Amino acid sequence: MEAEQKIDQTELVSGILQGPTFTQMISVNENETIDQHTNIIIEPASSHTIIETGITHSTMKSDSQRLRWNLLFNLLIWLVVLLPFWIPFLSNQVAFYMISSIQVIAILAVKNVIILYVNRSHNYTENIASLEKTQIRHIVAISCYKEPLELIATSVQSVANQTEVHRISMVISFEEKTPDKDEKCQCLYNRFKDAGFERIIFTIHPFGLPNEIPGKCSNSNYGLRMAVSHMNVADDDMDNILVTTCDTDTKLPPNYIAALTLKYLQANKAALTTIYQSPLFYNWKLDSLSFVTRVTGLLRSLLMLGALIPFNINTLNTFSYSLSLAKKGNFIHPGYQMDDMICLIRWMDITQQRLRISMIPVPVISRPTSGETIETEIIEWARQARRWTIGAAEVFHYFIIKAKRMPKMAAFSWGFVFTTYYGVLLCTAGLFGLTSILSMILLIKHVPLVITYVMYGFLVAQMLTFLVAFIIDAFIVQLMNVNQRIFILRNAFHFISTPFVLLAYSLVELYALHEVVIFGRKVCKHGASSKTSLGMTW
């Protein structure tokens, strides 16, 4: 029966391919001739089929699917959190050095932050002409849902401000259920029709397509496929087109596209081996928010500079890649929510190698979570932390499924650093510190004085690592010309509160991981945090 269903599905897809297209393209200005520079809206027709999103993965099950590989991830979390309690029963000496050695992660983060911090000021924008034989073009794609129009316009304006704006096809993707989407498209068209883009394309992602969940993955997948289809890109030209995926709360620096272009050329167009990532900084009115949100934002930037990029773990939010890699990797999986991590795993499977994450040496500004009051702000902060954690659990499940088809060393090396980062550093760092202190007080007897001093030393090292995040913040706001006013005593309070914020973050993550265990895949859906109260100014 399953074989017959597959044959029926194959015949259906074959018939669709031979039939008419299911997407109509409507010119925003009906008096213009549709040519290479026409600004258009791509809207779904009434009939939606599997061919529209190019889905080739298996049908998603409707049950909760509790028995998933993320259960192993939860088991690891509990082993690490309770490590200080059960190791002493095996050997006190082992306990001394195990509890101490895990803190080395903080020292490695400091080392890599310093290296990247020194190199990020290099100028990569001057020599494109000398290296460029065939023009490198760009697609910049922004996925939208219920975000305010001015927020979207602010992000698009940062793309319009690029020194290489003439290379860019701007793709703005709305959901079919977006309120007032037609008016938003028209307003954005009127505002940016003379910005210098090669073209502007608006896509409307249909609701309820099979094997999809609502979110950035499915929206980006649909928008990018429709845009590429309209552009009629030849397969042998895809190495010369770079795609940059953005959130609606992203501000690119004016030299982002120039820096990305040069980085790509210097790597001899490493189209199928490299993904490009700029360091993200959450300084969009960050000084006006609570210590919980600010500390989290500073630590996220620190970890991206010190871990995610140098250890090739994963990209975040805004990242770039070649169109040939996207095409070879079957674009973006619409059945998951974390497009940055899922793309990396999906494309490692296709290319049969571990992909390199290359840092674009220009800073990108992203917006933190916010709320009208400190209570709502903390609620939104916890909501986003929960969503990221559930997404990480889904990514772990997806990786285990794909790993069996990857080269063993590539799968093992990436799986190890991913699990160490998300399972040990993020999910258990705060909790491990708490259980370590309790273990030293309650279980481990006759602690040598030198071990006590070592533990204090690692605590100091950890606080110095946090201090690096605050030093980077003080410098980066000057580099990005961001107005930030934080009184020195308030800054000191934020610094002292960092371990407690990390502990609270770990508790939220622990709760989120067990949500997946109890409720299964039905909690794995996109629920964006509120950012509307930050305003549109810098």
- How sure is the predictor about 391, in pLDDT bands with cuts at 50, 70 and 90? confident
- Helix locations, 201-307, DSSP H: 216-231, 256-266, 291-303
pLDDT computed for residue 326 by the predictor: 94
With pLDDT > 90 as the criterion, what percentage of the chain qualifies? 35
Q: Residue 508 falls within a domain, yes or no?
A: no
What domain range includes position 208? 121-364
**Position 3 pLDDT exceeds 60:** no
Provide mean pLDDT across the span 480-488. Answer: 87
For the cut 70, the answer to whether the pLDDT of residue 478 exceeds it is yes
In angstroms, the Cα distances linking 389 to 337, 418, 420, 425 are 11, 13, 14, 13
The answer as to whether 265 is a domain residue is: yes
Lowest mean pLDDT among 166-170, 293-297, 461-465, 533-537: 533-537
In a domain, 345, yes or no: yes
CATH number at residue 265: 3.90.550.10
For residue 182, is it within any domain? Answer: yes
In a domain, 198, yes or no: yes
| CA atoms in the 13 A half-sphere facing the CB of 364 | 33
pLDDT tens string 307-349: 888 889 999 989 999 999 999 999 998 988 888 899 999 999 9
pLDDT per residue as tens digits for the range 71-122: 776 777 777 666 665 555 444 454 444 444 445 555 655 665 665 566 566 6
- Higher pLDDT pick, 251 / 443: 251
Q: Name which residue leads in pLDDT, 286 or 108.
A: 286
The model carries a pTM of 0.80
Q: Which of 18-32, 137-151, 360-374 has the highest mean pLDDT?
A: 137-151
Predicted pLDDT at 167:
93
Beta bridge partners of 43: 24
Q: Sheet holding 250-251: strands in order across?
A: 250-251, 364-366, 280-281
Sign of torsion over alpha carbons 44, 45, 51, 56:
positive
For residues 440 and 455, the answer to whether their CB atoms sit within 8 Å is yes
Q: Is the pLDDT of residue 451 over 70?
A: no
Q: pLDDT tier at 445 (50, 70, 90 boundaries)?
A: low
* 3-state SS, residue 195: coil
Report in angstroms the alpha-carbon separations of 204 from 19, 47, 110, 177, 337.
22, 14, 44, 9, 18
**Arithmetic mean of pLDDT, 50-62:** 44
Evaluate whether residue 407 is within a structural domain.
no
For residue 83, tell me if it sits in a domain: no
- Which of 59-68, 212-221, 339-348, 465-474 bottoms out in mean pLDDT, i.e. has the lowest? 59-68
Number of domains in the chain: 1
Residue 297 within any structural domain of the chain = yes
